[in-house]
Amino acid sequence: MNSLITGGAGFIGSHLAEFLLSKGEEVTIVDNLSTGKFENIRHLTDNPNLRVHIDTILNEPLMELLIKDCDVIYHLAAAVGVRLIIERPVETIETNTIGTEVVLKLANRYKKKTLIASTSEVYGKSDKIPFKEEDDSVFGPTIKSRWSYACSKAIDEFLALAYFHEKKLPIVITRLFNTIGPRQTGQYGMVVPTFVQQALLKHPITVYDDGQQARCFANVTDVVWGLHALMSDPDAVGEVFNVGNNKEISILALAELVKEMAGSESEIQFVPYEKAFEQGFEDMRRRVPDISKISELTGYAPKVELSETIQQIIEYYQK
């Protein structure tokens, strides 16, 4: 089995590549290193089952060759991270829509099963907790750039479902909730690597707003297991699945946990959203996945506790 992973040098992509290679499978990575890093996959490059192409998924002639040659596609290449979305909105919208268009068009030409990595952002600011796959998306206005990410990913989902219904392309849509682990960078705003680095450097730990907003954090190895299980199950085709962990923690409690685990003397500093991002920035108070659909189909159950994951991330940054 040869899996093509777009965004394979990224945080989740590199863990997926490692997982598939460990099962003796072949992996082809295409990544333009925009947010991914070669360092993420350097330890895998001795493996003869791995091929790496440093290029953009917008390079259609290359993508045609790679897609023709592979058995399945994990389409993970995307612009991610709230900070990146606000600072570079053109890149976010174009990468997420045009890139997926290219992948799906070529996947359809050769009828290759494709997993689309979507996001919990597509639920938007809905307060109907927990989020179930068939729930409404509730977006804010277009003048607030955060929502461009949610909309661009919703378009990807619509397009993939359209290819499935109209052209019989086998697709699987996964909505990833907050995923964390070693190799994730804090550069684009993700909270856990940001807090870990701040704690280790004894810088103030920046909790936005009152810190009572809450998230559920899944270990990347659990998520990768889920993606592979869904791609291996014929009943997942044409369906949308939440993938994540459903244990919730407030951001303030997270800051305190990271501080304690890192043995840090950092102060916890509350920062208003307007200062961290832009005037009128909208955040979600809570974001909890209902994971019963993936669990019932594949037996998926998150195994790694949050504290264990934080420990892995602390060790990663200490190195």
Residues in touch with ligand UDP (CB under 6 A): 82, 178, 189-191, 194, 206-208, 213, 215, 251, 283, 287
Based on CB atoms, which residue is closest to ligand UDP, 156 or 239?
156
Nearer to ligand UDP among residue 163 and residue 217 (C-beta): 217
- Minimum CB–partner distance for residue 103 and ligand UDP (Å): 23
Number of C-beta neighbours around residue 235 at 10 A:
9
Closest CB to ligand UDP among residues 70, 291: 291
> CA-to-CA distance for 208 and 126, rounded, in angstroms?
20
Q: Taking the complex as a whole, how short is the minimal distance between the CB of residue 181 and ligand UDP, in angstroms? A: 13
What's the CA gap between 129 and 246, in Å, rounded? Answer: 11
**What gap in Å lies between CA 154 and CA 136, rounded to an integer?**
11
- Per the document, the length of the chain is 319
> How far apart are the C-alpha atoms of 164 and 149, rounded to whole Å?
23
Q: How far is the CB of 60 from ligand UDP (least distance, A)?
A: 31
Q: How far is the CB of 176 from ligand UDP (least distance, A)?
A: 10
Q: Known catalytic residue: 316?
A: no
Question: Does residue 202 contact residue 265 with C-beta atoms inside 8 Å?
Answer: yes
Cβ distance to ligand UDP smaller for residue 149 or 163: 149
Q: CA-CA distance, 103 to 57, in Å (whole number)?
A: 7
Pairing, β 218-219 against β 179-180:
parallel
Given the residues 149, 163, 208, 300, select the one marked as catalytic.
Answer: 149
Any idea which residues carry the catalytic annotation? 149
